[in-house]
Amino acid sequence: MQKQFTYIDECSKPVILAMHGYCLGAAIDIATACDVRVATKDAVLSVKEVDIGMAADVGTLNRLPKVVGNHSWIKDVCMTARHFSAGEALQFGLLSRVFDTREEMINDVTKMAKLIASKSPVGVQGTKNVLNYARDHSIENSLNYVATWNMSQLFTDDLIKASMASFSKKPQPPFSKL
């Protein structure tokens, strides 16, 4: 199962996770592999594996430190298996937004997805690729990586269309679908 969850992280397209209700155990593994995570205020989260006598083995213990960065909080929730709220997850950076209702969350996530889809696929996928690389490498290596990445993108249709529209003060051109 480790590789299946890694496929989410490695997907070239942005992956948005919207959660409500209970998000326990493997659901946290999936959440940490996604690019953007949001929840309703009534969501309850927990890393439950320690309660069944094992360490979380399909990604949470590996990805959560890179997503959140606060090792004290991570050890707290992973070693106690305690439930924590969406508000707490937002406070520590696991979530980017918390919504009052499921409907509000779905509407906002749909708008976000449409906004992302309206952008240049080359730019969006490049941004995800470079951010994932930067997460796992030094700043110096990441700067070299993004320079190389952008050099390979200089002559794409997206860059040419967007540049021409920008200089002529025209609206953003339509891009191919992600």
Query: What one-character-per-residue DSSP string does 5-17 give?
Result: HHHHHH-SS--EE
Q: Are 20 and 42 in contact (CB under 8 A)?
A: yes
Q: Per CATH, which fold does 2-116 belong to?
A: 2-enoyl-CoA Hydratase; Chain A, domain 1 (3.90.226)
Give start-end residues of each CATH 1.10.12.10 domain in the chain. 119-167
Q: Are 43 and 34 in contact (CB under 8 A)?
A: no
pTM of the prediction?
0.86
Place of tokens 């070239």: 12
Place of tokens 């209970």: 22
Q: Look at residue 17 in the predicted model and tell me its pLDDT.
A: 98
- Residue 44: name the closest of 79, 76, 78, 87 by CA: 87
Element containing residue 72 per DSSP (H, E): helix 71-80
Per-residue pLDDT of the chain (178 residues; tens, 9 = 90+): 788 888 999 999 999 999 999 999 899 999 999 999 999 999 999 999 999 999 988 889 999 999 998 999 999 999 999 999 999 999 999 999 999 999 999 999 999 999 999 998 888 999 999 999 999 999 999 999 999 988 887 777 776 777 777 777 777 777 766 5
**What letter represents residue 176's amino acid?**
S
Place of tokens 């590789």: 3
Separation between Cα atoms, residue 98 and residue 129, nearest integer Å: 26
Exposed/middle/buried for 2, CB within 10 Å: 0-12, 13-18, 19+? Answer: exposed
Q: Look at residue 177 in the predicted model and tell me its pLDDT.
A: 67
Separation between Cα atoms, residue 56 and residue 19, nearest integer Å: 20
Does domain 119-167 fall under CATH 1.10.3720.10? My reply is no
Q: Look at residue 99 in the predicted model and tell me its pLDDT.
A: 99
Give start-end residues of each CATH 3.90.226.10 domain in the chain. 2-116
Tokens of 34: 């996604």
